[in-house]
Amino acid sequence: MLMPESLSLPPDLRVQVPADVLDRVEHDLGVRRGRGALVRKRRSVGTTTDRATWVRIEIRTTERVHGQGFDGLQAAESLTGIAKPAWHASCGWDDPAHGWMWRADELDLVTAQPIKPGGTLAAAPDLSNEWWSTLNASLDALSTSETDRIATLHCVPMTQARLTDAVVKMFGDVIDTTVTEWAAAHADMSWANLTAPECWLLDWEDWGLAPRGLDAAMLWSNSLAVPQLATRIQQERRADLESTTGLLAQLYFCAEALAVPPEYAGSLAQLARREADRLLVSLANRTG
């Protein structure tokens, strides 16, 4: 059955970016693209500009815009004490024929490079003590920020029901999954969104309230293939990760890793299973 045009999936921007989109962004923001290649992701692309800034262009289906909204980078400008690029301006428009919405945000240009632009991190990056201090200060400042936004993971709200469903589906109804602490989180804490040698936190479109320790748990889960790095994250973010909610957040990401096909998860599946067993024991001891 053919999908109605009004419900068609957005294009994969890693493959093609419509030329009229780039032209419209240049016109609406009053910039010209830099000479470098586009940085392409599935639902966003980025480019330098002629005024030494960075423009991030994103596409979402209209249904994915409801609820949290489509202004995460702009809304993050209210946050303080965090190493993130400043937001300058935005433009946006809808494509009702397809059920899509486009948005472009102009930000400060960060010249430090993403630590791992894509794929699974397989070797420990060279990160200074100053880098870790900046990350810790940023996450601490973020966690105390007030917001009514709800964090989204892959455009889906991070709710109590989502955490419970993932854990129960994978491990059964064996522990209390109630989240008792909520705090503002970046919600896309991957090595692609952290830079070095200077520490910057990029891509703020999904930030909002989430279970305490979500960011640390996500970064930890993305580091399981490098044990010394995963251990360092546990040490640096101990207060969050050793809280009951932090343990639940780690278990959630283990469940997510185990839910994907084995050929995709690779060696991470075995590591996630081992860590999940540890977390289940710890949580059972606390809630039992």
249-277 tens-digit pLDDT: 999 999 999 998 877 777 788 999 999 99
pLDDT of residue 203: 94
Which burial class, exposed, middle or buried, applies to 261 when counting CB atoms under 10 A from its CB (0-12, 13-18, 19+)?
exposed
Tell me if residue 229 falls in helix, strand or coil: helix
pLDDT of residue 18: 85
Report d(CA 194, CA 114) in Å as an integer: 6
CATH placement of domain 113-287? 3.90.1200.10
Q: Give residue limits of the domains in the chain.
A: 5-108, 113-287
Tell me if residue 100 falls in helix, strand or coil: strand
pTM of this structure: 0.92
pLDDT of residue 4: 41
pLDDT of residue 66: 65
Which residues of the chain register pLDDT less than 70? 1-7, 66-68, 287-288
pLDDT of residue 19: 82
How do beta strands 195-196 and 113-114 pair?
antiparallel
Token couple for 109? 């240009």
pLDDT of residue 118: 83
pLDDT of residue 262: 75
How many of the other CB atoms lie within 10 Å of CB of 171? 18
pLDDT of residue 249: 98
Query: Is residue 218 within 8 Å of 250, Cβ to Cβ?
Result: no
In DSSP terms, which residues pair with 107 in a beta bridge? 54, 87
pLDDT of residue 260: 87
Q: Which CATH architecture has domain 5-108?
A: 2-Layer Sandwich (3.30)
